[in-house]
Amino acid sequence: MNLGAREASGDVLLFLHADTRLPEGFAPCIRGILSRPGISAGAFLFHLDARSPGLSLIQKIANWRSRVFQFPYGDQGIFLKKGLFEELGGYPEMPIMEDYELIRRLKKRGRIYTAPLPALTSARRWEELGVWRTTILNQIIVLAYYLGISPRTLARWYRRS
């Protein structure tokens, strides 16, 4: 991601997971959000490409977290101005939790706005592992990171699941 950012010629960066698709009208939406005073970055609403009561609840919780706590995750598409990304030193070089850490740093620089448009993310992992197992694993990873467990160890846990 850092290499891509260095090679990018525009003044706005958008980081998107490979299994996530952007909504129609994303470009003017991004420009509009980043032109607002006090905004450091933004992300899209979280939406999965499958339907079930459990997945619907996961979407609602993720979007609530993103709006209320200004804490979107990478599968929502994170966008910001290239200059600010460079000032922050880019993404930390870590095998997991790098988007989480970038958002923590961005929050210190301004509001992180959740766009009203949904990015569509594959539900494959939730379908393969199960909605609750995947959700619990994700929360354990976040908690373990807070407790100081190394990102290398966390990446092994995540990939082993």
CA distance 146 to 29: 33
- What integer pLDDT is reported at residue 160 of this predicted model? 82
CATH number for the domain spanning 119: value is 3.90.550.10
Question: For the chain, which residues score pLDDT lower than 50?
Answer: none
Tokens of residue 145, six digits: 């990171």
Q: What domain range includes position 82? A: 2-126
Q: Is 120 helix (H, G, I), strand (E, B) or coil?
A: strand
Count: domains in the chain: 1
For 41, phi then psi, to 5°, come to -165, 175
Q: Are 117 and 26 in contact (CB under 8 A)?
A: yes
Assess if residue 145 is contained within a domain.
no
Whether the full predicted model's pTM is greater than 0.85, yes or no, is: yes
Residue 113 lies in a domain: yes
Domain for residue 133, yes or no?
no
CA trace torsion 93, 89, 66, 33 (10° rounding):
-140
What's the pLDDT score for residue 158? Answer: 87
**46 in a domain, yes or no?**
yes
